[in-house]
Amino acid sequence: MPNQFSVQIHADGVAEVVLDRPPVNALNSLGWFSLAAQITALGQDPDVRVIVIRAEGRGFCAGVDIKELDADRNLIIAVNAGNFATFKAVHLNPVPVIVAVHGFVLGGGIGICGAADIVIAAEDARFGLPEVDRGAMGGAAHLQRMFGVQKTRYLFFTGEMIEAAEALRLGAIERMVPRERLRDEAMAVAAKIAAKSPAMIRIAKEALTGIEDGNLEAKYRWEQGFTLQAYLSPDSAETRRAFVEKREAKF
């Protein structure tokens, strides 16, 4: 199986993880597990001080591979587990995780952003959770970590996307830059953090995670129970089939 991402550890202690699975960076079940393992391993590496996650191609991440699920519905359990492991690896990583996004940021892409410490977006970035239209649940806990409760519900119920400029206005992202400057901006922020005491930054990361309201992993696990319920509903098969066939779902 071709690699779905690449990893490079730079001399300053910044680890760069680059999603690269054309056409839309929708990872399959094995890809999510592999990504989780890699992010976890980087956080355990004493030479790594900061992790930057970005992507090549048309957009950051379109989430899970819907076509894989359509071909084998039993993979829903593995996909759920892989998503959970990846988002947990980001959120509970002992070092800061910066996510640099462009283009579409959907589904699992929202999970990565919502679990991260800092999100930097290109001007063309657009955020959304089309889960209702895909016969699934999940990701709202991570979207809500970026946006307020009512904005999250509006986006979740309607399936609409939100532009980077509006996300910046609402405080969901740290900054917005031209697409051509995205990587440089993310790496510059990472280098600034990496230049500080690694011991102090790791202590700060643990402390900041500990004072958050609620338990992000428990919230997401709660959602995943409804993902399975939604997936087994009669309407779910129609939403997935319509997506694969590139047509409007009929209910």
pLDDT tens profile 19-41: 999 999 999 999 999 999 999 99
- What pLDDT, on the 0 to 100 scale, is given for residue 241? 75
Q: Could you tell me if residue 245 is inside a domain? A: no
Q: Which residue has the higher pLDDT, 234 or 102?
A: 102
When computed from its CA atoms, the radius of gyration of the chain, rounded to whole angstroms, is: 17
84 pLDDT exceeds 70?
yes
- What pLDDT, on the 0 to 100 scale, is given for residue 138? 86
Please compute, for residue 213, the number of CA atoms within 13 A of its CA located in the half-sphere on the CB side.
4
CATH of the domain at 65: 3.90.226.10
Strands 97-101 and 126-128: unpaired
Q: Could you tell me if residue 157 is inside a domain? A: yes
Q: Could you tell me if residue 21 is inside a domain? A: yes
Q: How many domains, in total, are found in the chain?
A: 1
**What average pLDDT does the segment 69-98 reach?**
92
Q: Could you tell me if residue 228 is inside a domain? A: no
Give the structural domain span for 161: 5-179
Cβ atoms of 61 and 107 closer than 8 Å:
yes
As a whole number of angstroms, the distance between CA 123 and CA 178 comes to 5
Percentage above 90 pLDDT, the chain? 76
180-206 in b/e form (b: 16+ CB < 10 A) is eebbebbbebbbebbeeebeebbeebe
Q: Could you tell me if residue 164 is inside a domain? A: yes
Q: Give the chain's mean pLDDT.
A: 93
Cα–Cα–Cα angle for 216, 70, 19, rounded to 5 degrees: 55
Q: Could you tell me if residue 239 is inside a domain? A: no
Using CA atoms, how far residue 157 sits from 20, 102, 130, 132, 135, in Å, is 30, 23, 9, 7, 12
- What pLDDT, on the 0 to 100 scale, is given for residue 2? 64
Q: Could you tell me if residue 189 is inside a domain? A: no
**What average pLDDT does the segment 227-234 reach?**
78
Whole-prediction pTM value?
A: 0.92
- What pLDDT, on the 0 to 100 scale, is given for residue 1? 45
As a whole number of angstroms, the distance between CA 200 and CA 207 comes to 10
Q: Could you tell me if residue 251 is inside a domain? A: no
As a whole number of angstroms, the distance between CA 148 and CA 137 comes to 18
Summarised one tens digit per residue, pLDDT across range 121-180 is 999 999 999 888 877 788 999 999 999 999 999 999 999 999 999 999 999 999 999 999
**What average pLDDT does the segment 210-219 reach?**
94
Q: What is the DSSP letter of 195?
A: T
Does residue 128 come out as left (phi exceeding 0), alpha (psi in the -120 to 50 range) or beta?
Answer: beta
